[in-house]
Amino acid sequence: MTAARCPICSKPAEAKFTPFCSRRCADVDLSRWLKGAYAIPGRPVVDEDEGEASGGANNQQNRPSEDQD
């Protein structure tokens, strides 16, 4: 079994800062989460007024075209 590695810099992880090697790497990771660099995918947000997934005017995936009967 190999020793755990820091996900930020790949140095061996320290028990005090698990899974990171130092407070610095833990802070770098926290900063990335807070800035939105990491994101957990979820369902599209539904606009209650329009009843459609938000995504701007280019979101044409689920809309039927107007010339179909």
Q: What are phi and psi of 23, to 5 degrees?
A: -65, -35
- Cβ neighbors of 29 (< 8 A, separation 6 or more) are 7, 8, 20
Q: What are phi and psi of 46, to 5 degrees?
A: -100, 125
Taking phi first (over 0 means left), then psi (-120 to 50 degrees means alpha), and beta for anything else, what does residue 36 get? left
Higher per-residue confidence, 28 vs 59: 28
Whole-model pTM: value is 0.56
Looking at residues 6-27, what average pLDDT do you find? 97
Alpha-carbon distance of 66 to 45, in angstroms, equals 24
Q: 31-51: per-residue pLDDT in tens?
A: 999 999 988 888 888 877 765
